[in-house]
């Protein structure tokens, strides 16, 4: 079973690439972030023609998450139970579903903008709500994982130059402590490092030739419980999907399970 996560940075803009990638990669379940569309605009029919059901939580031009599955899609929960609002709005940043033998969450963690900003405090509250919301599944006996764009680099090795991020979001002690607390609920990072290259980044800014120069960050993560981690047989970042015309600024992260 092949499960992946991908921040597509607009599913409308990326649809031809997404459909081609699903066909070529043999992915069974894909967790999608930053759909940037309304629920009505989501391309369910083209995906259905490829054999994928869609569970969607999206409401406009920002944010938005989804789970695509060709192995079943049940027990769908939209939104983050107990999650905080930002400026009075419950943003569409989380969705969960059972797909065949596994249960998955697709999450798009708030960016935080800058340290001290209201959005940074919101990010930390959101992560704590996520920890509480997934605790029961994390401690369960069926394979379970939280996949998505966490907007946090877990270690200094996960950014191309730590010194350039001093005082910025994505690398602060508070954010990393929130990640550690999430792991302590019974989850672990199932994508090993190094993979096929020294720095398996998942995100590269469009500006300043960041991708050709490999000035990236590893912020797209797959955190699985013990039953999930125990059946992982391979994992990789598909850097090829960051190349070419009109890519997302993120690459898919793929995990193969022996189930």
Regarding pTM above 0.95, the answer is yes
Average of per-residue pLDDT across 202-209? 96
As a whole number of Å, the CA-based R_g of the chain is: 17
- Check whether 51 has a pLDDT greater than 80: yes
Alpha carbon distance 75, 139 (integer Å): 18
Query: Which residue's entry shows tokens 């579903």?
Result: 97
Measuring CA to CA, which residue among 198, 205, 233, 209 is closest to residue 219? 205
Q: What is the tens place of the pLDDT at every residue in 97-146?
A: 999 999 999 999 999 999 999 999 999 999 999 999 999 999 999 999 99
Residue 78: φ, ψ to 5° = -100, 140
The secondary element (H helix, E strand) that includes residue 178 is helix 173-184
Residue 239: φ, ψ to 5° = -65, -25
pLDDT of 101: 97
> What is the sign of the dihedral through the CA atoms of 153, 156, 162 and 165?
positive
β pairing state of 29-33 and 2-7? parallel
pLDDT of 61: 82
Residue 225 CB: number of other CB atoms within 10 A? Answer: 24
Domains and CATH numbers, the chain: 2-257 (3.60.10.10)
| Burial of residue 113, with CB atoms counted within 10 A of its CB: 0-12 exposed, 13-18 middle, 19 or more buried | middle
Ranking 109-113, 159-163, 246-250 by mean pLDDT, the lowest is: 159-163
Alpha carbon distance 92, 218 (integer Å): 23
Residue 240 CB: number of other CB atoms within 10 A? Answer: 12
Structure tokens given for 122: 């919101």
Q: Hey, which residues does 220 pair with through a beta bridge?
A: 149
Average of per-residue pLDDT across 201-228? 96
Average of per-residue pLDDT across 145-157? 96
Average of per-residue pLDDT across 57-76? 96
DSSP letter at 70?
S
Ranking 29-33, 35-39, 196-200 by mean pLDDT, the lowest is: 196-200
- Check whether 223 has a pLDDT greater than 60: yes
Distances (CA, A) of 99 to 21, 30, 118, 143, 221: 19, 10, 36, 10, 19
Q: Are 130 and 110 in contact (CB under 8 A)?
A: no
| Burial of residue 167, with CB atoms counted within 10 A of its CB: 0-12 exposed, 13-18 middle, 19 or more buried | exposed
DSSP secondary structure of 174-216 = HHHHHHHHHHHTT-EE-S-SS-SSS----EE-SSTTTTTTT-E
Q: Are 220 and 250 in contact (CB under 8 A)?
A: yes
């Amino acid at each position: 079973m092949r499960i992946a996560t991908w921040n597509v940075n607009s599913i409308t803009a990326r649809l031809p690439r997404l459909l081609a990638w699903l066909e070529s990669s043999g992915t069974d379940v894909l967790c999608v972030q930053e759909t940037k569309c309304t629920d009505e605009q989501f391309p369910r029919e083209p995906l259905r023609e490829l054999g994928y059901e869609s569970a969607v939580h999206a409401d406009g031009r920002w944010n938005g998450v989804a789970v695509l599955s060709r192995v079943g899609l049940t027990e769908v929960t939209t939104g983050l139970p107990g999650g905080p609002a930002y400026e009075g709005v419950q943003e569409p940043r989380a969705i969960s579903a059972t797909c065949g033998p596994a249960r998955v969450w697709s999450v798009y963690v708030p960016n935080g903008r800058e340290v001290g900003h209201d959005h940074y405090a919101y990010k930390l509250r959101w992560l704590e709500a996520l920890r509480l919301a997934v605790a029961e599944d994390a401690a369960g006996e069926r394979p379970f994982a939280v996949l998505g764009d966490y907007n946090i680099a877990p270690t200094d090795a996960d950014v191309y130059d730590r010194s350039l991020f001093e005082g910025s979001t994505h690398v602060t002690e508070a954010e990393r402590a929130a990640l550690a607390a999430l792991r302590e609920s019974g989850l672990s990072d199932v994508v090993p490092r190094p993979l096929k290259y020294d720095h398996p980044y998942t995100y590269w800014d469009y500006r300043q030739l960041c991708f050709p120069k490999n000035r990236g960050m590893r912020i797209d993560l797959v955190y699985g419980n013990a039953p999930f981690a125990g059946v992982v047989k391979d994992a990789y970042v598909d850097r090829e999907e960051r190349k070419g015309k009109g890519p997302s600024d993120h690459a898919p992260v793929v995990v193969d399970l022996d189930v």
